[in-house]
Amino acid sequence: MDAALVGAQWYNGELLSTVLERCYKRCFEQLPYFCEGFLNWFWCVFIMAVAALGCALAMPLAMDIARRFDVIDYPDGHRVNDKPTPRLGGIMLFAGIIISIGLFYLISEHFYHRLVILSVTPGINYYGVMLAIAVMFGVGLLDDFINLRPLVKLLGQIVAAGIATASGVLLDQLLNPLGGGFIQFGLLAYPVTIFYLVAFANIINLIDGLDGLAAGITAISAVALLVLAWSKTGLDAVVFASALIGVCVAFLFFNSHPARIFMGDSGALMIGFMLGIISLFGVVRTPALISLLVPVAVAGLPVLDTLTAIIRRLRSGKSIGERDVGHIHHRFIHYGYDQRTTVLILYALSALLAVCSVLIAQYGGGVRLVLVLGLLSLAALLVWRLGLMGSVLQHHYNKREPHLGEAGGAGRASSEDVRENGNSPQTDNKDVRENDGAAHPPEDS
Q: What confidence category does residue 41 fall into, taking pLDDT thresholds of 50, 70 and 90?
A: confident
* Residue 88 per-residue DSSP state: -
Of 23, 3, 22, 38, the C-alpha closest to 231 is 38
182-189 average pLDDT score: 82
**pLDDT at residue 315, as a whole number:** 76
Q: How far apart are CA 199 and CA 273, in angstroms?
A: 8
Q: What is the pLDDT of residues 390-410, one digit of tens each?
A: 654 444 333 333 333 333 333
Angle between helices 235-255 and 213-231 (to 10 degrees): 160
Query: Hey, which of 83-87, 106-110, 289-293 has the most confident mean pLDDT?
Result: 83-87
194 burial type by CB count under 10 A (0-12 exposed, 13-18 middle, 19+ buried): buried
79-89 average pLDDT score: 82
Q: How far apart are CA 139 and CA 252, in angstroms?
A: 23
Is pLDDT above 80 for 388?
no
- The H or E element containing residue 174 is strand 173-175
One-letter amino acid for residue 62 of the chain: A
**End-to-end CA distance of the chain, in Å?**
88
400 phi and psi, to 5 degrees? -70, 140
Is pLDDT above 90 for 164?
yes
**pLDDT at residue 319, as a whole number:** 67
The alpha-carbon radius of gyration of the chain (Å, integer) is 23
379-385 average pLDDT score: 80
- Of 286 and 327, the one with more pLDDT: 327
Q: How far apart are CA 58 and CA 89, in angstroms?
A: 9
**pLDDT at residue 178, as a whole number:** 64
**pLDDT at residue 382, as a whole number:** 79
57-77 average pLDDT score: 90
Is pLDDT above 80 for 110?
no
**pLDDT at residue 130, as a whole number:** 94
Q: What confidence category does residue 254 fall into, taking pLDDT thresholds of 50, 70 and 90?
A: very high
52-66 average pLDDT score: 96
- The H or E element containing residue 237 is helix 235-255
Q: How far apart are CA 301 and CA 139, in angstroms?
A: 25
**pLDDT at residue 397, as a whole number:** 35
Q: How far apart are CA 225 and CA 237, in angstroms?
A: 8
Is pLDDT above 70 for 442?
no
Residue-by-residue DSSP string for 283-295: HHHS--HHHHHHH
Contact 113, 29 (CB under 8 A): no
**pLDDT at residue 197, as a whole number:** 94
Is pLDDT above 90 for 42?
no
Q: How far apart are CA 345 and CA 389, in angstroms?
A: 20
**pLDDT at residue 234, as a whole number:** 66
Q: Considering the entire predicted model, what is its pTM?
A: 0.74
Indicate the average pLDDT of the chain.
75
Query: Hey, which of 215-219, 326-330, 374-378 has the most confident mean pLDDT?
Result: 215-219
225-238 average pLDDT score: 79
The percentage of residues in the chain with a pLDDT greater than 70, rounded to a whole number, is: 67
Least confident of 173-187, 217-231, 413-427: 413-427
Who contacts 5 (Cβ-Cβ below 8 Å, separation ≥6)?
none
Q: How far apart are CA 72 and CA 252, in angstroms?
A: 19
Of 224, 256, 445, 179, the C-alpha closest to 356 is 224
Instruction: Specify the pairing of strand 72-73 against strand 85-86.
Output: antiparallel
* Residue 426 per-residue DSSP state: G
| Sign (positive or negative) of CA dihedral 368, 374, 377, 383 | negative
214 phi and psi, to 5 degrees? -65, -45
Who contacts 246 (Cβ-Cβ below 8 Å, separation ≥6)?
47, 48, 49, 50, 51, 52, 55, 96, 100
28 burial type by CB count under 10 A (0-12 exposed, 13-18 middle, 19+ buried): middle
* Distance of alpha carbon 65 from the chain centroid: 22
Is pLDDT above 70 for 88?
yes
Tell me the CA distances in angstroms from 23 to 54, 111, 193, 383, one per residue in order. Answer: 26, 11, 44, 57
39-58 average pLDDT score: 88
**pLDDT at residue 68, as a whole number:** 94
Q: What residue ranges do the domains of the chain occupy? A: 43-400+413-431
